[in-house]
Amino acid sequence: MSRSVPVVPTWAPRALRPARTALFLALALTAACGGGGGGGGGGGGAEKEEASGRPGASGVRDPYFPKAGNGGYDVTHYALDLGYEPATGRLTGTATISARATQALSAFDLDLEGLSVHGVTVDGEGARWDRAGQELTVRPRDTLARDKTFRVTVRYSGTPKTITDQDGSEEGWLRTADGALALGEPTGSMAWFPGNHHPSDKASYELTMTVPKGLRAVSNGELVRERSTGGRTAFTWRTAEPMASYVATVAVGDYDVRRSTTADGLPVYVAVEPALAEASRTVLGRIPEVTRWAADTFGPYPFSSTGAIVHGDTDVGYALETQNRPAFPGVPDTLLLVHEIAHQWYGNSVTPKTWRDMWLNEGFATYAEWLWQEEHGGDSAQETFDALYDHGERTYEDLWSFPPAKPTSAAHISDSPVYQRGAMVLHRIRRTIGDSAFRDLLRGWATTWRHGNADTADFTAYVEKRAPGRNLEAIWADWLYGEGKPKSV
């Protein structure tokens, strides 16, 4: 179908959601021993601090979510052993988190919203801990030296929360008729496991979910074990490549599973709610084709498998680029499939340093839609750009309300300027440096920052380095950071 101005589907990739402010007032003090929260300052003098340690910060000071994430350590691996009972909504879990101290630590925080903590150990020894809102503060028996690798194990249980985001959307743990679905963007993952929940700290994962026999548990990465005993089945999934916690997922329910491989031998794992299996067969059958096209356009596929999760009995009104297999709240169309698969490069492999850099995810994924249309009988990217510039506000009322690199608040990091105007920035770069150089840039950006984190300054510096002698200042000033509708194209 030819689309002059992209049509907004009934549900979309986390764009154009109804704005609604959510204020979380949580003060749950569940003290085991000791007192005080994490994130304090230091002692007197560098030598004394190194000897006695100091608490890690209780947030990484993200410009929109300042309490998200934690300072003082870097997570390398999550081992999550979970059990879920759909009839009661109860989750039990043991999370073992491997990390490296980036300072001498007398205490450190983990993000965990709700749920009851039953015990914490650090390197096998009991540790003191306490709770304050989303902060679980852990005090190891001995100070953790700088650069020390350590493991913290948290036992917990309860009914996980559905979190209402500041834009009015729901995330976290979403109960379904026969199970649940976990979605994490931007802060929902802390509703079902403790961790360093900020995109700047990526890690590998192994997740085992035990559910009533007859149901399935689908997660990221590769299914490495499925074992039934005593009326329950345990599914173990392993994600070897680094993953930000907001794109971690687990879907529990009655899913129709289809396994295949691409022409290059890449495993394809698709899980679909049975009622949607037949309707989704054709579009999901294009996953190998779309993945191959994206690899030709953006460079080698960054993960060990591809696929999708299609659910239908939640109130979620958006698709999400959960790593390896995006989650769709119904049968997607081809452009939405293209969008979420493109995110595997832009967002999942090259991950933003802060939530201010969301346009590096969404602008690229939206431009992938433009390129797909251009190469598959639809409008050219130039025609799409022109239509947006001339009358895009008819479809996206807020199109010119803020520049893509400066969302006005946490409630607006998923609004249309981040998506559509972000794509327009990329098209302006393409027009300035030429098609061949632009194609090289798309691949080079994804390759240079593969499995890493980057921000807008990294991107602009990269473009300028790859296009010496080109004047890009007007693009940065007018399209990336400028207020209102640019006066000229």
Is the residue at 147 inside a domain?
yes
Q: What is the Cα–Cα distance from 324 to 339, expressed in whole angstroms?
A: 13
Contact between 248 and 194 under an 8 Å Cβ cutoff? The reply is no
Whether residues 250 and 397 share a domain: the answer is no
Take residue 454 and report the two structure tokens written for it.
């980057």
Question: How many domains does one find in the chain?
Answer: 2
pLDDT digit string, tens, across residues 351-407: 999 999 999 999 999 999 999 999 999 999 999 999 999 999 999 999 999 999 999
Whether residues 361 and 245 share a domain: the answer is no
Q: Is the pLDDT assigned to residue 127 strictly greater than 60?
A: yes
Contact between 451 and 76 under an 8 Å Cβ cutoff? The reply is no
Give Cα separations from 375 to 9, 88, 168 (angstroms). Answer: 21, 49, 36
Instruction: Examine the fold and report which residue of 220, 254, 288 is the final residue of a domain before the chain moves on.
Output: 254
Asked whether the CA dihedral 192, 193, 198, 200 is positive or negative, the reply is negative
Take residue 103 and report the two structure tokens written for it.
């300072």
Residue range 274-287: average pLDDT?
A: 98
Q: What percentage of the chain reaches a pLDDT higher than 70?
A: 90
| Closest of 137, 123, 122, 144 to residue 50, by C-alpha | 144
Q: Which residues are within 8 A (CB) of 481 and not within 5 positions of it... i.e. 6 or more apart?
A: 403, 405, 406
Whether residues 246 and 385 share a domain: the answer is no
Dump the DSSP string for 386-414. HHHHHHGGGT-TTTTSS-TT--SSGGGTT
**Domain span including residue 149:** 53-254
Give Cα separations from 319 to 33, 206, 254, 442, 477 (angstroms). Answer: 42, 24, 19, 23, 31
Is the residue at 152 inside a domain?
yes
pLDDT tier at 1, thresholds 50, 70, 90: very low
Which residues of 39-104 form beta strands (DSSP E)? 54-55, 73-85, 90-101
Q: Which residues are within 8 A (CB) of 278 and not within 5 positions of it... i.e. 6 or more apart?
A: none
Beta pairing, strands 73-85 & 125-126: unpaired
Question: Model-level pTM?
Answer: 0.91
pLDDT tier at 315, thresholds 50, 70, 90: confident
Q: What is the Cα–Cα distance from 380 to 292, expressed in whole angstroms?
A: 21
Beta pairing, strands 149-158 & 162-164: unpaired
Reported residue count of the chain is 489
pLDDT tier at 489, thresholds 50, 70, 90: confident
Given this model, what pLDDT does residue 50 score? 59
Mean pLDDT of the chain: 91
CATH code of residue 95: 2.60.40.1730
Is the residue at 328 inside a domain?
no
pLDDT digit string, tens, across residues 59-84: 999 999 999 999 999 999 999 999 99
Q: What percentage of the chain reaches a pLDDT higher than 90?
A: 88
Q: 42 versus 457: which is more confidently predicted?
A: 457
Kindly report the number of other CB atoms within 10 A of residue 125's CB atom.
9
Is the residue at 118 inside a domain?
yes
Of the listed ranges 30-39, 240-249, 377-386, the least confidently predicted one is 30-39
Max CA pair span of the chain: 68
CATH code of residue 429: 1.10.390.10
Q: What is the Cα–Cα distance from 96 to 99, expressed in whole angstroms?
A: 10
pLDDT tier at 34, thresholds 50, 70, 90: very low
Given this model, what pLDDT does residue 41 score? 36
Residue range 260-271: average pLDDT?
A: 97
Residue range 399-421: average pLDDT?
A: 98
Residue range 103-131: average pLDDT?
A: 98
Of the listed ranges 46-50, 112-116, 251-255, 266-270, the least confidently predicted one is 46-50
pLDDT digit string, tens, across residues 136-170: 999 999 999 999 999 999 999 999 999 999 999 99
Instruction: Examine the fold and report which residue of 254, 272, 293 is the final residue of a domain before the chain moves on.
Output: 254
Q: Is the pLDDT assigned to residue 13 strictly greater than 80?
A: no
Residue showing tokens 């749920």: 115
Q: Is the pLDDT assigned to residue 49 strictly greater than 70?
A: no
Whether residues 224 and 361 share a domain: the answer is no
Q: What is the Cα–Cα distance from 198 to 50, expressed in whole angstroms?
A: 26
Is the residue at 226 inside a domain?
yes
With H, G, I as helix, E, B as strand and everything else as coil, classify residue 363: helix
Contact between 235 and 223 under an 8 Å Cβ cutoff? The reply is yes
Whether residues 245 and 108 share a domain: the answer is yes
Residue range 78-91: average pLDDT?
A: 98
Q: Is the pLDDT assigned to residue 435 strictly greater than 50?
A: yes
| Closest of 112, 111, 206, 171 to residue 320, by C-alpha | 171
Q: What is the Cα–Cα distance from 291 to 305, expressed in whole angstroms?
A: 10
Given this model, what pLDDT does residue 18 score? 33
Is the residue at 366 inside a domain?
yes
Is the residue at 263 inside a domain?
no
Is the residue at 158 inside a domain?
yes
Whether residues 369 and 250 share a domain: the answer is no
Instruction: Examine the fold and report which residue of 213, 230, 254 is the final residue of a domain before the chain moves on.
Output: 254
Residue range 89-104: average pLDDT?
A: 98
